[in-house]
A and B are shown apart, each in its own frame.
Chain A
Amino acid sequence: MKVAQLSFVFRRVLKSLRELLWTHILTSGTMAMTLFIFGGFLLIQENLHGLLRGWGSQIQIFAYLEHSLSQADLQSLLGDVRNYPEVESVRFVSKGEAWENFREALGAQSGVLEGLPSDILPSSLEISLKRPYRYRASVAAVAQRLRGMKGISEVEYPEEWIEKLTLLVVGVQWAKWILGGFLFIATLLIVGSTVKLAILARKDEIEIMQLVGAPAGLIKAPFVIEGMIQGVLGASLSLFFLWLLFLFARYRLPSSLGIFPAHDQLQFLGSEAISLLVFLGWLLGAGGSLFSLRRFLKTWGSGRQ
């Protein structure tokens, strides 16, 4: 493209932005709305993941030790368990600590323990697993192996709780792809239709440019650049509204809902998700324009080119 043609393209873009301001605002607004829904979904999904990660870290296996276990056997047992590939950390809870914990848990009723020997409770190991193993099957497998070890009398873990959590994590992951996919296609269709309307408004201009021999690239370029501007603008607008929504959720949503223990646990979209949203806006704008332009030029110029 010659310099004169480049300058022509940019002048066309500026002229169009000025003259068809409302059409562009409408297109950017539509993109902003659809990207807002998409971004909102990302926001919910990201926070839900954070929440699940938090809940997942609370998954622990409790292995109760035999009363007769010697110090040497304990050390060897600790070494063995720490060497499990699934294990993240192991904490030894002595009989004394278990007794204290129990007393604290009973609170005002702790008087019922009076007269009982303080070593009545067994010592135990609190085992945390690495993130990829915090699922039902792997937790059960580790528990099974622990049961077979010498010095361990009993193994317990919150089976039902882990099962629900596993289902939730898998559900969110699937929802991310299915719902995200649907939303993306819907966004593409809506943006495509809006861009088509904007192109139809300038049908005569395109027809005349074709008749006077304008190269296809020169006809398409202003529309594609406008599409990119609309897309990035729409994405920025959607991010602004998402930020407002986030602030509302963070400071106005009653904590009594009980889902999030503290407001500051709510996180806004990370830089990756923000970049994704802006990139999507850019892509939707440019792609939507090209797609509609192609279809429009084909329909309008059937038998022509």
Chain B
Amino acid sequence: MIQLFRVSKVYPPNYPALTDIHLHVEKGEFVFLSGPSGAGKTTLLKLLFREEEATGGQIIVNGRNITRLDGAGIARLRQEIGLVFQEFKLLPSMTALENVALAAEVVGMSRRESRRRAFHLLRELGLREKHDARPLTLSGGEQQRVAIARALVNDPILVLADEPTGNLDADMAEETMRVFLKIHEKGTTIMIATHDAGVLKRFHHRGVQLQRGRLMSDSKSAQREVAS
């Protein structure tokens, strides 16, 4: 699903955010990207949905090299990826339902179908009663579930989440992680960047650790080494 070959990113004037990253993520995998602040987790995610452009190496997402894409190519790529952020990025002037349906409408789904799907997802995520509420009237956990519903509305092949539990207390963080696990059970590839040690301890999935822009450890390759 995701392949990175010797990927690097240098921010001007000369700040290396990522150096020589090799990473392969299979379809349907659940990967935690961990590391302290400034390790390069967010930059790596940004490269995957092309918010940033790699300064070196090649990145393949779902069989397509995304290193060089024009504006239309980037839009198409993002239509296949669901994005979740720490700060939710919901529009306060829209209801929960409208926020979710927006993502479907902009890719050409009819209003009726978009709203039907949005409602269905919100119900699945336990927000049936809150579909008409504006984001600012919802709790942090609820807002994050609305954001997750928006990320899922176009049936993405890949979900990228950047510190999705960063603004939530422990209970809400746990609840949010369970939502991601449920999505993963349906076969969606998931990559979550987090520095939440609690989350990493409780959920035993593949962990990729970054430090100062370099890949320090990958639990999958460690398992392979143990097995061999």
Chain A residues in the interface with B (C-beta under 8 A): 2, 4-5, 7-8, 11, 19, 204-205, 207-216, 218, 303-305
Contact = CB atoms under 8 A, between A and B. Distances in A.
A41 to B, nearest CB: 40
B108 A5 contact: yes
Given A205-B91, A211-B83, A304 B52 contact: yes
A4 B78 contact: no
B106 A303 contact: no
B131 interface: no
A213 B91 contact: no
Contact size range, B: 20 to 34
Given A204-B91, A205-B91, A304-B52, A212 B111 contact: no
A208 B71 contact: no
A213 B78 contact: yes
Contact of A4 (B81, B90, B111): B111
A212 B99 CA distance: 11
B105 A207 contact: no
A5 B107 CA distance: 7
B162 to A, nearest CB: 11
Nearest to B49: A211
A270 B56 CA distance: 62
A303 B75 contact: no
B109 A4 contact: yes
B56 to A, nearest CB: 15
Contact of B102 (A209, A303, A305): A209
Contacts of B154: 212-213
Given A207-B89, A211-B89, A2 B108 contact: yes
Contacts of A208: 89-91, 102
11 contacts: A2-B108, A4-B109, A5-B105, A5-B106, A205-B91, A212-B83, A212-B102, A212-B106, A213-B103, A303-B52, A305-B74
Nearest to A219: B106
B106 A8 contact: yes
Given A208-B89, A213-B154, A303-B53, 7 more contacts: A211-B78, A213-B76, A213-B78, A214-B107, A215-B75, A218-B106, A305-B71
A118 B139 CA distance: 110
B72 A216 contact: yes
Contact of B111 (A8, A210, A214, A304): A8
A212 B89 CA distance: 11
Contacts of B228: none
B150 interface: yes
B132 interface: no
Interface string B104-123: 01111111000000000000
Nearest to A208: B89
Contact of B75 (A2, A207, A216): A216
A99 to B, nearest CB: 86
Contacts of A2: 108
